[in-house]
Each structure stands twice: as C-alpha cells, then as structure tokens.
Amino acid sequence: MLYITSNIFIHLLPNRISYEIKKTESSMSFNIENYFSYQLKNLIFHYKGNVDSNTISRVLDLFDEKMAVANNSSRLRKRAYNVLVESLQNLYHHVDKVPDDFNEQADRFGVLWIIKTDTGYQIVTGNFIYTDNIEKLEKRIQKINSLSREGIRDLYKFILSHQGLSAKGGGGLGLVDIARKTGNKLNYSFVKYNDEYSFFYLNILINEEQKD
Amino acid sequence: MEPIFIEGTPKTPTIKFDSKTGIFEIKGRSIPENAIEFYKPFVDWLETYKVDPLSKTVVSIKLEYFNTSSSKCILELFKKLEAIHKAKNEVEINWYYEEDDEDMLEAGEDYEAIIRVPFKMMEITM
C-alpha cells in the first residue's frame, strides 16, 4: 500500500542535515527503516513493497500533485520528476530477488523515501542485491561519480549510441541520467543482510540551482 | 500505406505518423516501463515507410518527459529517418523544448550529434 506520511511538506529544515549514510549496521539487526540517522521531518512520502507498473504510476501522480502546490520552479519540478521516474524504474527493472527468510515477499521489492529539503528534494531508494553483484554496481557508480558534467554527458551519448536495447529497455542509462539531471554525485551504500544478500541504498539530491 | 496513430496516456505519448502528408508527431510523456514493447509498432511502421517514403517528411518531437528506456527507442526511430534521409529524401526533425528546459534542449542536441538528419531546435515560449 502506498501511504502518505505527511501532507504538509514545506517545513523549515534544521540548519544542518547530515546526508551521511550509516554503514555500520550488522546483519543481525537489519532493518530497512534504520537508514536515516536523523528524524525525517520533511518526508513527503514513503513506500515499501512491490514496485510494479501501477505503483510507479501512483507514486508519480502523487509526486506531481505535491510539486504542483509546492511552488517549485518548473526546472526543479521536471528534474525531480525525471529522477523519480528513473529511480522507480531502476527498482522495477533491476532489483534482485528477495531473500527467502525476509518478512516481505514480493517480485520486485523496493523501498522509497521522498523528502523535501530546503533546496529541493531528496529521493532515497533501497533494494536487495546479491552480494556477488555489488562489485559491478559499485564500479559503475564510482565511474559515474568520477566524471565531470561534460564527461557524464559524453558517457550518456556513448551508451545511447553504442549499446543496443536491452531486454529491460534501459540499457544502463538510468544511473547516468540521474547523475546528469541532478549534477550531484550518487550517494550510496550497501548494508549486509546475510552472506548472500545485501541491501542497496541510493541517495539522490536534486537541488534547485545545481547543475550549471 | 495507412497512417499510424495512437492516443497518449499518462505514461506514453500521442504518436501520429501520417504517410499521406509526411507529417509525423510524437507528443506528451514517454515514460513506460517497457518502451521497446510500446515503440515496436512504430519502428516497424517506419521500416515499411522507408521503402517508399514521401519526398519530404517533417517530424515534430514535443516531449515533456522521456525516460532512458524511451531514449533508445527514440534513437531507433531516428535511425530509420536517417536511412530515409540518406536515400536522398528530405527529412527534418523539429525538436521542441520549453524555454527553461535546458535538459530537453540538451537531449535534442545529443540526438542531433548522433543522427545525420537536419534538426531544428524549437523553443516554446511559455
């Protein structure tokens, strides 16, 4: 079920917010919700469960409505919407299977937080990943994070023109597009669930003035 | 050859390829999860159209949003148009973007850099 945790999302934020990710969780105390080390006062909404096409539509509609009343610039609105599309569709296309002993079984299990910040939005997604797949994903993110804005644009064009359509459709452009649209580094972490599985968090900031 | 037309939805664009006039349009949002499936009939249609195209084809792209899954499919469509252009037919792609939407402008420029078809960047004043 989709649920809105707060209808009012224009709050004053504390002066300093730490976007640091907790990296010290042990698998024994694994709790998806423990991601944030601070209280989420400006949560627009939170979703946890199966990420299917209908869920994506509903979340996008809700976000659209939220942004429409938030008086954002149309540039921020478009970027945030685009980034949310890619984040959700990354979950849709790329999540690994849920561990058998996990208490919520779903074909495509994912978690999402959308938070209003004083300069824009923060979108955090989480999903299970086979530990064996971490290295590949981390290398990919590190590569994107090492590039300049122009470098990211070139990489986007390269992938677009040189790599064929994958069965999943995205062809590996999603993360590159997120980095390109936000102008920010991709903040991420892997939290061990057990020997076979980890949980991957992607923490995306979309700021009003960024990018130029 | 019959024109092909599909009405838009919240996740897919309105597409009109009119083989009688040579005026083609893609308009709206293109954010389906499975873009390949959505675009396949249009890629196939262009494959047939390119065998015997009109002497002039004008394509207008008026997208508000498109996802990365669609971006590859749009490139596929453009490649068909490139082949038509290469065969000495006139083809023009008009890429529309809203005046403050530099991301959409850049996206158009990226395609322009990849595809050998004349592009026109068309700013929509709000």
Of B86, B98, B95, B49, the closest CA to residue A79 belongs to B98
Q: Is the Cβ pair B73, A160 closer than 8 Å?
A: no
For residue B34, give how far its alpha carbon lies from the nearest alpha carbon of chain A (Å): 6
Measured between beta carbons, the chain A residues lying within 8 angstroms of B110 are 153, 156-157, 160
Q: Residue ranges per domain, chain B?
A: 4-124
Those of residues 65-84 in B touching chain A at CB distance below 8 A are 65, 67-69, 71-73, 75-76
Record the tokens describing residue A51, joined without a space: 């990420």
Point out the residue among B33, B76, B110 whose CB comes nearest to the CB of A56: B33
Give the percent of chain A with pLDDT over 90: 64
Nearest to B60 by CA among B126, B3, B121, B125: B121
Phi-psi sector, B109: left (phi>0), alpha (psi -120 to 50), beta = alpha
Chain B residues within 8 A of A160 when measuring between CB atoms: 71-72, 75, 110, 114
- What is residue A125's predicted lDDT score, i.e. its pLDDT? 97
Chain B residues touching A60 at Cβ < 8 A: 10, 31
Nearest CA distance, A170 vs chain B (angstrom): 4
* pLDDT, tens digit, 9 for 90 and up, residues A44-55: 989 999 999 999
Q: What is residue B22's predicted lDDT score, i.e. its pLDDT?
A: 97
Residue A21 DSSP code = P
Q: Is the pLDDT of residue A121 over 80?
A: yes
A157 neighbors A167 (Cβ within 8 angstroms): no
Average pLDDT value for residue range B83-101 = 97
Give the span between the Cα atoms of B89 and A25, in whole angstroms: 62
> Domain B4-124: which topology?
Transcription Regulator spoIIAA (3.30.750)
Q: How far is it, in rounded angstroms, from Cα A71 to Cα A106?
A: 36
pLDDT at position B114 over 90 = yes
Q: Does B27 touch chain A (CB under 8 A)?
A: no
pLDDT of residue B75: 96
ipTM: 0.94
Domain edges within chain A: 27-132+185-207
Instruction: Calculate helix-pair angle for A174-182, A74-94, nearest 10 degrees.
Output: 160
Q: Does the structural domain A27-132+185-207 have CATH classification 3.30.565?
A: yes
What pLDDT is attached to residue A7?
Answer: 30
Give the DSSP per-residue string, B14-39: EEEEETTTTEEEEEEEE--S-HHHHH
CB A87 within 8 A of CB A202: yes
pLDDT digits (tens, 9 = 90+) for A198-212: 999 999 999 987 555
Look at B35 and A169 and tell me if their CB atoms are within 8 Å.
yes
Q: Which residues of A touch B67 (CB under 8 A)?
A: 82, 85-86, 89, 170
What the block records as the tokens of A210 is 């960024």
